[in-house]
Amino acid sequence: MTDSSPVGSNRIPANPRRDDRTPGGPPIASIELPTAVPLSVYDLTVAYHRKPVLWDVGFDVPAGTMVAVVGPNGAGKSTLLKAIMDLTPRASGRIHVFGDTYRRNRHRVGYVPQRESVDWDFPIDVLDVVTMGLYGQIGWCLPVRRKHRLAAMEALEQVGIADLAHRQISQLSGGQQQRTFLARALVQNADLYLMDEPFAAVDAATERAIVRILHTMKDHGKTAIVIHHDLQTVPEYFDYVVLLNMRIVAHGPVEVIFTAENLQKTYGGRLTLLDEVTEAMRRRERSL
Amino acid sequence: MNYLRATILVTILVLFSSARSVQAQSSIGLQPGSLTDRAITWPTSEQWRRVLRLEDHNSRVVVLGTMLLGGAAGFVGSFTLLRRRALMGDALSHATLPGIALAFILATAWGFDGKSLPILLLGATVSGLAGVGAILLIRNLTRLKEDAALGIVLSVFFAAGVSLLGVVQQMKTGHAAGLEAFIYGKTASMGAADAKIIGVAALFCVVFSLLLFKELKLLCFDEGFAASRGFPVVMLDMALMSLVVIVSIVGLQAVGLVLVIALLVIPAAAARFWTESMWRMAVIAALLGAVSGMLGAAMSAIFSKLPSGAMIVLACAMFFLMSLFFGSSRGVIIRFWRRSRLDRTVDRQHLLRALYELLESSHDTKHIAADTARSVSTSELMAVRSWSQRRLKHEIARSRSAGLVKTEGDQRVYLTQTGFAEAVRLTHQHRLWELYLITHADIAPSQVDREADAIEHVLQAETVQELERLLEHQPDAGLPSSPHGPTEPVLRNSGKSITRRAE
């Protein structure tokens, strides 16, 4: 079981690479890797039941940037994150994470799913959820050890809820749930973070905590791609923006791209040719 | 909602199993010519002793095998319940019947012993898996939802099985009397060899899910995250379903295909009432399942006419009901108790604050602190809040026994020294909260889950400090004055309306 599993087979090449990134590692890798682009998407098309969700999406993300993915409901923002992580089949396109496939560099990516995606009545506590971020490293069939719990506690301290470590997850407020998920991604010590609406319906203190963490990430040269809904805070929290509405409307530095005209293109005039074609295809599928 | 569904399922299963045992009894009574020896008779003490002390080798193995089965089913069932796949097991077990009948027909036709357990279980497995496959096909190829697919497959496969059993009965080589045991479960027809198969399979399931406990937990909690970390979720899901298949198949003989789902659902659902930890839940479910299996098999051995499947399910149901009421984590009683404890706390805080505020309105604040005779009449208290006379009396009596107030007759209430300190603390918190609502009302309600009125009763020390910091209030500067207090007639109206809206 251990040998055939992707996690098991990944761990062998993964660990040396991970070490290479620390100062003093072997020179060859340290020249090659820091120059690699954290995320590069070419020509990505994803369709659910022949209904296109993403069409010809392509963009590169420079290292050390905080990227907001912005677009109306149903623009395919979550699908984009899922496609990056190979969680959803793609009709076409190539995705490179640090210059290689996601499979190979999975250990360098941390994922913060939408809060609503899980049952918060599940019988586990906060620390349990955070250690889940380490399950891949711990390995199959092996138990969670003390050092893993310590790492999880550290991540909880970063998000400011270390005192809630042994609280039942059913007793968390929305903001605390979000911080728990954030800690679960932080504990992996990844280089690229994918976050699905971390700011959705959280309290002001949690919002500040998340922003603080984003700043720390940036200071350490890490990259975050964040699905975001609050247009007003985009210029304040992020330095790069991807405007998405099935297609890429525009992408680039916030000060250049985040203009009223581009937003109008993203949110306004929804009934474009693209929508009409989609609608026609959906009608045809229904009649089949 | 998950638990509601589980509860409904449990009820249906229990009703069904009781119906089975009643039917079993009545059909026994109808046996012609053998009314006395076939009817259920109270066993002799000798019989009790033999079964309970497991003296007979065969019954010892059977009881042990059923126990292991119950334990494995409880353990595996914890995962399926949390993964919301509980009903899949039901469809699977019903879908085994045509396989059992076909295996019997084919084996007999080819000259093997049609009643050999491995052959029958092989047939059961094949058709059970075909049933699950049919569900997945219907779900993925059509726009039907899973519950419809489950209902269709479950009933169609069961109908096919019942028809095939009819065919079996027509066969000349037939003599298929034992096959019904698979429908309702009959430990009496189990031999020691069968029980060993069950025991080994059950142990395998427990060991397997222990090894993969962490991975299965992750799968049940957050499938998407598991996939993003590279865990093969489809494989894990299939592994979990295979465990369900194994438990259901080996459980057929002891519990019967109609009721085997009960062993997968009821112990796990019952265990949830006792704990908030997945590990403890699985262990408790395994224990409950094992004890139910043991009790059921033992009862069936004592009252040989009672089908063991029904006995096992009724034993499970007994534990479920006990857990529902007495469960230490989510049981009805403990929840009721917690609720009423909160209500009492709230009442007490209201009383103390009302006392303080009444004193404050009639005296100078410094004067009250020094005064030992801090008395208020009950009629004044009645007017402050919308509490009933009885409730107020109750609370005064409770606070008196806690040493917070003293009474003089029925008419007047005093705050003691401790009561006064507590009242000051509560009023302080309340006013801070009010100020907060007034100055920051636009963000406050989204931060808290409970009703605004209840919040002041659950404020923790650090929250109070945070409030003080936020409102730039010095803790040693004494109490902030009430925003709708008598000294500030202008604020009175606006303050009230804001707090009301928040409530």
Domain-embedded: residue B388: yes
B165 vs B493: CA distance, rounded Å: 81
3-state secondary structure of A96: strand
In our burial notation (b when 16+ CB lie closer than 10 A, e otherwise), range A63-97 reads bbbbbbbbbeeebbbbbbbbbbbbbbebeebebbb
Query: Do B243 and B374 share a domain, yes or no?
Result: no
Q: Distances from the Cα of B310 to the Cαs of B89, B162, B307, in angstroms? A: 18, 20, 6
Burial bucket for residue B379 (CB in 10 Å: 0-12, 13-18, 19+): exposed
Residues 198-237 (A) with a CB less than 8 A from some CB of B = 201, 203-205
Question: Do B229 and B98 share a structural domain?
Answer: yes
| Per-residue tokens: B109 | 């036709």
Identify the pLDDT of residue B488: 35
Q: Using a CB-CB distance cutoff of 8 angstroms, which residues of chain A are in contact with residue B225?
A: 111, 113, 132, 184
Q: Which residues contact B465 (CB under 8 A, 6 or more apart)?
A: none
Q: Under a CB-based contact definition with an 8 Å cutoff, are residues B202 and A105 in contact? A: no
- Cβ <8 Å between B278 and A201: no
Stretches where chain B sits below pLDDT 70 are 1-41, 51, 172-177, 188, 363-374, 437-464, 470-503
| Residue for token pair 């968390």 | A172
In a domain, B282, yes or no: yes
Cβ–Cβ contact B214 with A under 8 A: yes
User: Which residues are CB-neighbours of B73 under 8 A, at least 6 positions away?
Assistant: B202, B247, B251, B260, B263, B264, B267, B289, B293
Nearest by CB to residue A141, choosing from B82, B211, B276, is B211
Reduced to 3 states, what is the DSSP secondary structure of residue A250?
A: strand
Contact A138 B214 (CB under 8 A): yes
Q: Burial, A45: exposed, middle or buried (Cβ in 10 Å; 0-12, 13-18, 19+)? A: middle
Token reading at B213 = 């406990």
pLDDT at B190: 78
Closest residue, chain A, to B216 (C-alpha)? A141
Contact between B288 and B319 under an 8 Å Cβ cutoff? The reply is yes
- CB-nearest to B232 from A6, A113, A124 is A6
Closest CA to B39 of B299, B296, B303, B295: B303
B111 and B179 within one domain: yes
ipTM above 0.90, yes or no: no
Q: Do A136 and B281 touch (CB under 8 A)?
A: no
**Residue B298: predicted pLDDT:** 85
Confirm whether B35 is domain-assigned.
no
Question: Is position B175 within any domain?
Answer: yes
Q: Which stretches of chain A drop beneath a pLDDT of 70?
A: 1-35, 269-288
Question: Does the CB of B275 have a partner CB in chain A at under 8 Å?
Answer: yes
Residues B355 and B485 in one domain: no
Closest Cα in chain B, distance from residue A261 (Å): 31
Task: Answer yes or no: do B269 and B306 share one domain.
Answer: yes
Residue B372 lies in a domain: yes
Cβ-defined contact of B212 to A140 (cutoff 8 Å) = yes
Residue range(s) defining the domain that contains residue B462: 424-498
B5 touches chain A (CB under 8 A): no
Given A6, A123, A204, which is nearest B275 (Cβ)? A123
One domain for residues B255 and B322: yes
Of B217, B230, B232, the CB nearest to A106: B230
Percent of chain A with pLDDT over 70: 81
**Residue where a domain terminates, one of B394, B420, B446:** B420
Torsion of CA A180, A184, A186, A189, to 10 degrees: 170
**A106, A125, A204 ranked by CB distance to B229: nearest:** A106
* CA B198 – CA B88 distance, rounded (Å): 21
B4 falls within a domain: no
Q: How many CB atoms lie within 10 A of CB B193?
A: 10
Q: How far is B283 from chain A (nearest CA, A)?
A: 13
B425: exposed, middle or buried (C-beta count within 10 Å: 0-12, 13-18, 19+)? middle
| DSSP 8-class letter at B42 | P
Length of chain B, in residues? 503
B433 plus B412 within the same structural domain: no
- What the block records as the tokens of B218 is 């992750």
Counted across chains A and B, CB pairs separated by less than 8 A come out at 93
**The two structure tokens encoding residue A218:** 């940036």
Q: Which of B221, B229, B272 sits opposite A124 (nearest CB)?
A: B221
B278: nearest CA in chain A? A123
Across the strands, what pairs with B349?
none
Of B420, B443, B476, the last residue of a domain is B420
CATH number of the domain that residue B444 is part of: 1.10.60
Question: With the C-alpha atoms ordered B206, B212, B213, B218, is the resulting torsion angle positive or negative?
Answer: negative
The pLDDT assigned to B404 comes to 86
Three-state SS at B195: helix
> Rounded to a whole number, what is the distance in angstroms from the first to the last CA of chain B?
28
Between chains, do A123 and B449 touch, taking CB under 8 Å as contact? no
Residues of B in contact with A203 (CB under 8 A): 443, 446-447
* Strand runs labelled E in B255-403: 375-377
Query: Measured between CB atoms, does A124 come within 8 Å of chain B?
Result: yes
CA distance B252 to chain A (A): 29
Asked if residue B413 and residue B468 are part of one domain, the reply reads: no
Statement to judge: residues B314 and B359 lie in one domain: no
Secondary structure (DSSP) of A101-154:
-HHHHGGGEEEE--GGGS-TTSS-BHHHHHHGGGHHHH-TTPPP-HHHHHHHHH
pLDDT of res. B336 = 93
Of A5, A132, A204, the CB nearest to B232: A5
Which tokens sit at B13? 């299963």
Instruction: Give contacts of B449 with chain A, Cβ < 8 Å.
Output: 173
Contacts B268 to A, Cβ<8 Å: none
- Does a structural domain hold residue B6? no
Give CA–CA dist A206/B374, Å, rounded. Answer: 44
The number of domains in chain B is 3
Q: Is A115 on the interface with B (CB under 8 A)?
A: no
Instruction: Check CB contact of B465 with chain A, cutoff 8 Å.
Output: no
Is B248 in the same domain as B312? yes
Q: Which residues of B touch A125 (CB under 8 A)?
A: 276-277
Shortest CA gap B209–chain A (Å) = 10
List the single residue in A109, A123, A203 with the smallest CB-CB distance to B446. A203
Chain segment A58-91, per-residue pLDDT in tens: 999 999 999 999 998 888 999 999 999 999 988 8
Do B382 and B465 fall into the same domain? Answer: no
Chain A contacts of B448, Cβ < 8 Å? 173
Q: Comparing C-alpha atoms, which of B257, B275, B308 is closest to residue B94? A: B257
Say whether A113 and B224 touch across the interface (CB within 8 A): yes
Q: Which amino acid is at B224?
A: G
Q: Which residues of B touch A111 (CB under 8 A)?
A: 225, 228-229
Q: Residue A122 and residue B227: Cβ atoms within 8 Å? A: no
Q: Does A119 touch chain B (CB under 8 A)?
A: yes
Q: Give A-chain residues touching B227 at CB under 8 angstroms.
A: 85, 87
The CATH number given to whatever domain includes residue B261 is: 1.10.3470.10
Final residue before a domain boundary, out of B420, B448, B479: B420
Contacts of A106 in chain B (CB under 8 A): 228-230
Give the Cβ contact number of residue A146 at 10 Å. 7
pLDDT computed for residue B82 by the predictor = 95
Q: What would the pLDDT profile of A144-187 be if each residue is shown by its tens digit?
A: 999 999 999 999 999 999 999 999 998 888 889 999 999 999 99
Find the CB nearest B218 among A106, A109, A135. Answer: A135
Q: Where are the alpha helices (DSSP H) in chain A?
A: 6-20, 27-32, 77-84, 102-105, 126-131, 135-138, 146-159, 174-186, 204-219, 234-237, 254-257, 260-267, 273-287
Do residues B310 and B366 share a domain?
no
Write down the pLDDT at residue A277: 52
CA distances B371 to A128, B203, B232, B364, B375, Å, are 54, 73, 73, 10, 10
Is the CB of A239 inside 8 Å of chain B's CB atoms? no
Residue B247 lies in a domain: yes
